[in-house]
C-alpha cells in the first residue's frame, strides 16, 4: 500500500509540472507588457525597461520559466500588481475559507447524496424513487449562482433565518454550503442509485436475503460496500466542478475565499495573482484526485498496489 | 447524416439506412421526458428566434420613466433597473445564449473529434502526446479553465465562445478516442483493410460513423453545460459586455437589486435553468434512443 501511494504520488509530479507550464504559458499570452501594465501609462520608457530587467522579462521564455519554477518551489509567487502584497500571502489568507467551504460541501454532498441514492434504489420505481430522481435531475441543471440567490431571497430576505453573506459564524456557512453542494448531491445520488441497483441484483445479495438477514444488513453492510467503488470515483471527479462552483458561490455570498480573489484579480488585470490563484486551484484538484485514487485502492481490494 | 452512418455501420446497405432514422425517432418519441425537453427547447428557441417580431422595442434602450416595475400585465416579468422589459431582454438574451452554446460546442467538437479520431486510430507517439495534453487540460476544473482563458483573451462573445469551446474539447478527444480504439481492431475494419481500403477510407467510412451516436449525445449534454458556463462567466461580469442582453450577465445585474426587486435576478436564472434542464432531458433520451446499451449505468 505504501509503495502504491508513493508511486501514485510520483505520477502526480509530471502533471503538476505540466500545470505550471500551462499556467505560465497562458499568462504570457496576455497581450501587452506586464511591466507597462504594472507601472501605468505615465511611467517613462526607462522606468519600464528597468522593471522589465528587474522582473527578468528581458530573458528568453524558457529561462523565465525555469526561474519562475525555482521561485515557485520556494513558495514565491511574485507580488500583486495592485496591492504590492506577496501573492503567496494573499492566497494563504484566502485559502482556508475556500477549503472550509469545499470540505463542508463535499461532506454534505456525500452524506445527502448517498442517503438519497440508497433510498431511491431500495424503492425502485416507487414515488419516492421518482421524486428523488426528479430532484436530482433539477440539481444537475441548476445554475449554482442562481440557486444561491434564490436561497438567499427565501432564507435571508423573507424568512430572515440566515445571513445573506459574509464569513465567520456557523450560520454564515449554511447557505453557501447548501448552494455549492446541490450539484454534487444530485450526481452522487444518481451514481449511488445506479451502482447499488446493479449490486442488488447479484447472487451474493440474494444469498444474504436467503439466509434471513434484515434489510439493513443486506443493503448497508453487504451491497453498499461494493456499490461504493464507482461512487468514490464520482466524488473525486465532481470535486473539480465543486471548485468551479466555489468561485461562483463565493461571489454570490461575499465569501472571502480564493474564488473571489481570482475573480477580483481578473477584473483588475492583476496577473501575478491570477497566475497564483489558478495554480493553487489546479494543484488542489490534482491532489484531491490523487487522494481519491489512493482511497479507491483502499475501497477496492481488487486493485493491485504493486 | 443518418444514411451514411447506418450504411457503414452494417453491411445491410440501403434498406437499413432507410429504417434507422424512424427507429431512433420512434424510440425518442416514446421517451416522455425527452419529448418534454424537446418541447421546452423548441419553445425557447422559437421565442429567441422570433424576439424581434414579438418584442419590437430595443432591448438595450434605457427607459427611465419605468425602472424596476414588478411583474404586471404590461410587463409580465417586470422591468430592470434601466426600465427595460425583462421578458423582451430574456427573449433577446436567448439568442445570445443559444448562439454562444451552439458555437462553443461546435468549436470543441471540431477540435476534439478529429484529434480523438487520429489519436485512437493511429495510436503511437501522436496518441501519447495528445493524451498527456488532454490529461493536462483535465487537470484544470472546467469552469476554472474557461475563466482563465477569458482572463487571458478578454471578455466579449467571441472570446467566451473560444474559452468555453476549448475548455470542453478534451471531453470529445477522450470520447472519440475511446470509440476509435475499440473499433480499430474489430472484424469489419479488418475486413475492410483486407479488401484494400485506405486508412482514410476506413477512418471516414467505418470509424467516424461509429462515433456519431456518442458525439450527438455528448453534444446535447454539452450544450447545456456550455450555456451554463457562459452564463457563469457573464454572472461574474466576465462574459458578454452590457448592454447586450445575456442571461448570466442579467442575473449578475439582478443580484444588486435582489433585496428590492426579486424579479430581476429570478427570471433570467429561471431561463438558464429551464434550458439546461431541457438539454439534459433530451440528452438522456437521445442516449437511450440511439443506443440502449449506452444507458447510464
* pLDDT score for B39: 92
* pLDDT score for B7: 34
Taking 70 as the threshold, does the pLDDT of residue B22 lie above it? no
Q: Are the beta carbons of A266 and B150 separated by less than 8 Å?
A: yes
- Cα-based torsion angle of the residue sequence A89, A39, B149, B146 in order, rounded to the nearest 10 degrees: 50
* pLDDT score for B20: 59
* C-alpha cell of residue A116: 438519497
CB B172 within 8 A of CB B108: yes
* pLDDT score for A216: 81
What percentage of chain B carries pLDDT values higher than 70? 90
Mean pLDDT of A176-181: 93
pLDDT tens track for A223-262: 888 888 888 888 887 888 888 899 999 999 989 999 999 9
Q: What is the set of domains in chain B, with CATH numbers?
A: 16-290 (1.10.3720.10)
DSSP string, A256-298: -SHHHHHHHHHHTT-HHHHHHHHHHHHHHHHHHHHHHHHHHHH
Closest to B77 in 3D by CA, of B243, B263, B274, B275: B263
What's the rounded Cα separation, in Å, for the pair A170 and A165?
12
Q: Please enumerate, as own/partner, the contacts of A158-165 that have beta carbons within 8 Å and a separation of 24 or more.
A: A164/A253, A164/B259, A165/A252, A165/A253, A165/A254, A165/A255
Closest to A36 in 3D by CA, of A263, A271, A264, A262: A271
What's the rounded Cα separation, in Å, for the pair B240 and A281?
25
Closest to A179 in 3D by CA, of A246, A96, A257, A129: A246
* pLDDT score for B59: 83
What's the rounded Cα separation, in Å, for the pair A201 and A17?
45
Name the CA radius of gyration of chain A, rounded: 24
* pLDDT score for A211: 87
Helix or strand or coil: residue A38? helix
pLDDT tens track for B35-52: 999 999 999 999 998 888
State the smallest CA–CA distance between residue B34 and chain A in angstroms. 13
State the smallest CA–CA distance between residue B139 and chain A in angstroms. 6
* C-alpha cell of residue A225: 460496500
A248 in contact with B, Cβ within 8 Å:
yes
**Structure ipTM:** 0.87
Mean pLDDT of B167-178: 91
Closest to B83 in 3D by CA, of B106, B65, B71, B96: B65
Mean pLDDT of B179-204: 87
What's the rounded Cα separation, in Å, for the pair B260 and A249?
21
State the smallest CA–CA distance between residue A169 and chain B in angstroms. 22
Give contacts of A27 with chain B, Cβ < 8 Å.
152
What's the rounded Cα separation, in Å, for the pair B212 and B208?
7
CA angle B24, B25, B29 (to 5 degrees): 120
* pLDDT score for B46: 92
- Most B CBs within 10 A among A14, A117, A144, A146, hence the mutation to make, goes to A146
- Most B CBs within 10 A among A196, A244, A265, hence the mutation to make, goes to A244
* pLDDT score for B4: 37
Mean pLDDT (chain A) is 86
Taking 90 as the threshold, does the pLDDT of residue A92 lie above it? yes
What percentage of chain A carries pLDDT values higher than 70? 97
Taking 50 as the threshold, does the pLDDT of residue B2 lie above it? no
* C-alpha cell of residue A113: 447524496
* pLDDT score for B229: 93
* pLDDT score for B204: 87
pLDDT band for A188, please (50, 70, 90 cuts): very high
For A18, nearest residue in chain B (alpha carbons): B136
Q: Are the beta carbons of A245 and B143 separated by less than 8 Å?
A: yes
Q: Which of A150, A157, A244 is nearest residue B141 as measured by Cβ atoms?
A: A244
- Most B CBs within 10 A among A141, A278, A280, hence the mutation to make, goes to A141
Mean pLDDT of A73-82: 85
Interface of A with B in 218-237 (CB under 8 A): 230
Taking 50 as the threshold, does the pLDDT of residue B184 lie above it? yes
State the smallest CA–CA distance between residue A19 and chain B in angstroms. 6
CB B249 within 8 A of CB B242: yes
For A252, nearest residue in chain B (alpha carbons): B255
Q: Are the beta carbons of A27 and B152 separated by less than 8 Å?
A: yes
pLDDT tens track for B219-252: 999 999 999 999 999 999 998 888 888 999 999 9
Taking 50 as the threshold, does the pLDDT of residue B3 lie above it? no
CA angle A44, A46, A52 (to 5 degrees): 110
**Residue B150 or residue B31, greater confidence:** B150
* pLDDT score for A306: 45
Spacing of C-alpha B48 from chain mean position: 16
Pairs across A and B, CB distance < 8 A: 137
Mean pLDDT of B3-26: 49
Q: Residue A85, Cβ neighbours under 10 Å: how many?
A: 12
pLDDT band for B292, please (50, 70, 90 cuts): low
* pLDDT score for B55: 83
Mean pLDDT of B203-225: 89
A194 in contact with B, Cβ within 8 Å:
yes
CB B142 within 8 A of CB B172: no
pLDDT tens track for A122-158: 888 889 889 999 899 999 999 999 999 999 989 888 8
* pLDDT score for A225: 80
Q: Are the beta carbons of B237 and A248 separated by less than 8 Å?
A: no
Amino acid at each position: 500500500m505504501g509503495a502504491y501511494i508513493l508511486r501514485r504520488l510520483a505520477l502526480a509530479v509530471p502533471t503538476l509540472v505540466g500545470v505550471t507550464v500551462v499556467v505560465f504559458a497562458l499568462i504570457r499570452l496576455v497581450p501587452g507588457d506586464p511591466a507597462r501594465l504594472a507601472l501605468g501609462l505615465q511611467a517613462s520608457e526607462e522606468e519600464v525597461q528597468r522593471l522589465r530587467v528587474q522582473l527578468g522579462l528581458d530573458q528568453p521564455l524558457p529561462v523565465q520559466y525555469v526561474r519562475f519554477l525555482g521561485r515557485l518551489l520556494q513558495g514565491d509567487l511574485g507580488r500583486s500588481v495592485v496591492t504590492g502584497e506577496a501573492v503567496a500571502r494573499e492566497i494563504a489568507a484566502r485559502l482556508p475559507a475556500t477549503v472550509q467551504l469545499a470540505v463542508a460541501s463535499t461532506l454534505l454532498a456525500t452524506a445527502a447524496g448517498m442517503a438519497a441514492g440508497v433510498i431511491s434504489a431500495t424503492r425502485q420505481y416507487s414515488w419516492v424513487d421518482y421524486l428523488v430522481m426528479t430532484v436530482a435531475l433539477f440539481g444537475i441543471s441548476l445554475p449554482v449562482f442562481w440557486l444561491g440567490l434564490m436561497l438567499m431571497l427565501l432564507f435571508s430576505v423573507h424568512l430572515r433565518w440566515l445571513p445573506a453573506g459574509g464569513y465567520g459564524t456557523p450560520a454564515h456557512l449554511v447557505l453557501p454550503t447548501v448552494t455549492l453542494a446541490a450539484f454534487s448531491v444530485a450526481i452522487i445520488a444518481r451514481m449511488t442509485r445506479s451502482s447499488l441497483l446493479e449490486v442488488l441484483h447479484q447472487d451474493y445479495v440474494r444469498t444474504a436475503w436467503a439466509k434471513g438477514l434484515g434489510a439493513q444488513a443486506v443493503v448497508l453492510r453487504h451491497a453498499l460496500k461494493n456499490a461504493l467503488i464507482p461512487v468514490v470515483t464520482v466524488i473525486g471527479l465532481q470535486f473539480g466542478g465543486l471548485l468551479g462552483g466555489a468561485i461562483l458561490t463565493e461571489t454570490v455570498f461575499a465569501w472571502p475565499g480564493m474564488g473571489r480573489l481570482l475573480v477580483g484579480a481578473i477584473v483588475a488585470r492583476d496577473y501575478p495573482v491570477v497566475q497564483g490563484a489558478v495554480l493553487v486551484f489546479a494543484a488542489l484538484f490534482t491532489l484531491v484526485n490523487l487522494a481519491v485514487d489512493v482511497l479507491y485502492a483502499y475501497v477496492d481490494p481488487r486493485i493491485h498496489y504493486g | 447524416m443518418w444514411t451514411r452512418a447506418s450504411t457503414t455501420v452494417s453491411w445491410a446497405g440501403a434498406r437499413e439506412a432507410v429504417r434507422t432514422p424512424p427507429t431512433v425517432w420512434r424510440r425518442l418519441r416514446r421517451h416522455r421526458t425527452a419529448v418534454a425537453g424537446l418541447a421546452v427547447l423548441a419553445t425557447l428557441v422559437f421565442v429567441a428566434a422570433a424576439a424581434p417580431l414579438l418584442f419590437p422595442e430595443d432591448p438595450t434602450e434605457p427607459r427611465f420613466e419605468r425602472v424596476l416595475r414588478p411583474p404586471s400585465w404590461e410587463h409580465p416579468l417586470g422591468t430592470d433597473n434601466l426600465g427595460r422589459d425583462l421578458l423582451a431582454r430574456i427573449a433577446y438574451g436567448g439568442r445570445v445564449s443559444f448562439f454562444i452554446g451552439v458555437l462553443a460546442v461546435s468549436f470543441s467538437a471540431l477540435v476534439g473529434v478529429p484529434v480523438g479520431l487520429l489519436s485512437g486510430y493511429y495510436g503511437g507517439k501522436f496518441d501519447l502526446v495528445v493524451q498527456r495534453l488532454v490529461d493536462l487540460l483535465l487537470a484544470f476544473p472546467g469552469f476554472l479553465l474557461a475563466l482563465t482563458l477569458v482572463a487571458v483573451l478578454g471578455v466579449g462573445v467571441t472570446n467566451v465562445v473560444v474559452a468555453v469551446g476549448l475548455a470542453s474539447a478534451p471531453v470529445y478527444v477522450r470520447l472519440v478516442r475511446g470509440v476509435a480504439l475499440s473499433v480499430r481492431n474489430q472484424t469489419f475494419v479488418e475486413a475492410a483493410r483486407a479488401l484494400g481500403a485506405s486508412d482514410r477510407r476506413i477512418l471516414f467510412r467505418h470509424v467516424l460513423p461509429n462515433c456519431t451516436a456518442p458525439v450527438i449525445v455528448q453534444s446535447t449534454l454539452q450544450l447545456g453545460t456550455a450555456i451554463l458556463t457562459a452564463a457563469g462567466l457573464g454572472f461574474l461580469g466576465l462574459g458578454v459586455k452590457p448592454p447586450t442582453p445575456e442571461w448570466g450577465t442579467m442575473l449578475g445585474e439582478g443580484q444588486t437589486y435582489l433585496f428590492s426587486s426579486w424579479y430581476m435576478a429570478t427570471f433570467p436564472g429561471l431561463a438558464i435553468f429551464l434550458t439546461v434542464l431541457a438539454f439534459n432531458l433530451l440528452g438522456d433520451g437521445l442516449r437511450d434512443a440511439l443506443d440502449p446499451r449506452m444507458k447510464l449505468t
